[in-house]
Amino acid sequence: MKRQVLLIFFGLIHSVNAFSQCAMCRSTLENNISNGNVGIAAGINTGILYLLSLPYLAVMVLGYLWYKNSRRRIA
């Protein structure tokens, strides 16, 4: 159990940040960056990453609970 938690923890810590956005956001951010507003672009990219990570986290938790429940039925 500890090994699995540590493996997941280190996997999340060492994952590569994937910065992406929709076409409308990209054009707005490119315009802001050309005007010197870099902070807005970084904030929107961080927000997109937070929104993207929550569904994956929910699937991981549900998968873990399903796995734990199936192991309990076998034992």
Is residue 58 in some structural domain?
A: yes
Which pLDDT score, from 0 to 100, does residue 19 have?
A: 54
Is residue 10 in some structural domain?
A: no
Q: Which of 47, 49, 63, 62 lies closest to 17 in space, CA to CA?
A: 49
Which pLDDT score, from 0 to 100, does residue 69 have?
A: 92
Q: Specify the DSSP class assigned to residue 35.
A: T
**pLDDT, tens digit (0-9, with 9 covering 90-100), for 17-66:** 555 556 777 777 788 888 887 787 778 878 878 888 888 999 999 999 99
pTM assigned to the model? 0.47
Range of the domain at 28: 18-74
Is residue 33 in some structural domain?
A: yes
Is residue 48 in some structural domain?
A: yes
Is residue 38 in some structural domain?
A: yes
Domain count, the chain: 1
Whether 21 contacts 44, CB under 8 Å? yes
Tokens of 44: 């929107």
Angle between helices 23-34 and 38-74 (to 10 degrees): 140
Is residue 12 in some structural domain?
A: no
Tokens of 67: 């796995």
What is the pLDDT confidence band of residue 4, given thresholds at 50, 70 and 90? confident
Which pLDDT score, from 0 to 100, does residue 67 have?
A: 94
